[in-house]
A and B are shown apart, each in its own frame.
Chain A
């Protein structure tokens, strides 16, 4: 389940293709990726990365993108750590919000303002890598990465 609320429009398959390509171009830690067929009414884009927080050996991004530019970028690790960068109508948070780790239950404003899929994907990857290099999930939603 994606947890996206509101009228998001249909899934934007071409955006999923673009997002997959950004993952492959921009992030050398990507090990596996899969995208369901264009006619699947719920096409899943899954990207696995060869690193994780703490003792986790790997993590997985599941991405949903729709024609009204709503999105859900959901990261999970086998030990249960998860977080989500979202944009969609949400009664209890701004449309662009972040579900904090470790369980993605809370909703706080997202540090990501950019809107097109190729920019959101690059921003998510930067946030993830910055937090991962410090092995500190609390840095995931940080706007800056000071020297």
Chain B
């Protein structure tokens, strides 16, 4: 079977960016870029990453700040922007609420606690941070466990928040 080649390109990175630009709107790109920015960042840098002009970026970020998705910080060098971490966590909690009922959340919480505890016992340390200190740089199994432990820990917090949120909603809504 013949497979068609993609249109010719000089640099696969530029070709990927061009395709992204064709298939998204400027606003979609700005939103996609800002949701991954965790450090205060100037509009010029966000414009560069989103392949958008700076005035359009400032405008879009102001709207996103109004709805709480973006946090701003005024400095001597101008306004800096980053994603609102609280809203990002909240959205993940809401997603859990939509995908799991309360019994499932409670059962997942037990599983996640079990995963975290088994890593504590296996490595004799309390946290992924402590584990990182004792791992050799070229230990693939150890680093994989480190990633899984971090993920289980994060999911454990999100699940607890989702359960509390469901409880509060029953009483308050």
Task: List the count of A-B residue pairs having beta carbons below 8 Å apart.
Answer: 141
Contact of A10 among B9, B108, B111, B154 (CB under 8 A): B154
Which residues in A have their C-beta under 8 angstroms from that of B32? 18, 116, 118
Tell me, rounded to whole Å, the shortest Cβ–Cβ distance linking B39 to chain A: 12
Question: Which stretch from B14-22, B56-64, B68-76 is at the chain A interface?
Answer: B14-22
Contact of B12 among A38, A41, A145, A147 (CB under 8 A): A145
Contact A5 to B137, CB < 8 A, known contacts A41-B151, A119-B17:
yes
Q: Contact between B12 and A143 (Cβ–Cβ < 8 Å)?
A: yes
Q: What's the tally of chain B residues with a CB closer than 8 Å to chain A?
A: 51
Which residues in B have their C-beta under 8 angstroms from that of A29? 3
Distance in angstroms between the alpha carbons of A8 and B17 in the assembled complex? 25
Q: Contact between B5 and A9 (Cβ–Cβ < 8 Å)?
A: no
Contact A91 to B138, CB < 8 A, known contacts A41-B155, A144-B10, A145-B9:
yes
Q: Is the interface of B mostly helix, strand, loop or mixed?
A: helix
Distance in angstroms between the alpha carbons of A4 and B135 in the assembled complex? 13
Q: Contact between A126 and B138 (Cβ–Cβ < 8 Å)?
A: no
Contact of B13 among A7, A66, A123, A145 (CB under 8 A): A123
Does A2 lie at the interface of the complex (its beta carbon under 8 Å from any beta carbon of B)? Answer: yes
Q: Which A118-133 residues have a C-beta within 8 angstroms of B?
A: 118-120, 122-123, 126-127, 129-130, 132-133
Q: Is the interface of A mostly helix, strand, loop or mixed?
A: loop
Q: What's the tally of chain A residues with a CB closer than 8 Å to chain B?
A: 53
Which residues in A have their C-beta under 8 angstroms from that of B20? 118-119, 122
Q: Contact between A119 and B16 (Cβ–Cβ < 8 Å)?
A: yes
Q: Which A92-145 residues have a C-beta within 8 angstroms of B?
A: 92, 111-114, 116, 118-120, 122-123, 126-127, 129-130, 132-135, 142-145
On A, residues with C-beta under 8 Å from B are 1-11, 13-14, 18, 25-26, 29, 37-39, 41-43, 51, 66, 69, 89, 91-92, 111-114, 116, 118-120, 122-123, 126-127, 129-130, 132-135, 142-147
What are some 16 contacts across the A-B interface (CB < 8 A)? Answer: A10-B153, A29-B3, A38-B92, A38-B95, A39-B111, A39-B112, A41-B112, A42-B147, A69-B36, A114-B17, A116-B49, A122-B20, A123-B15, A133-B4, A142-B12, A145-B15
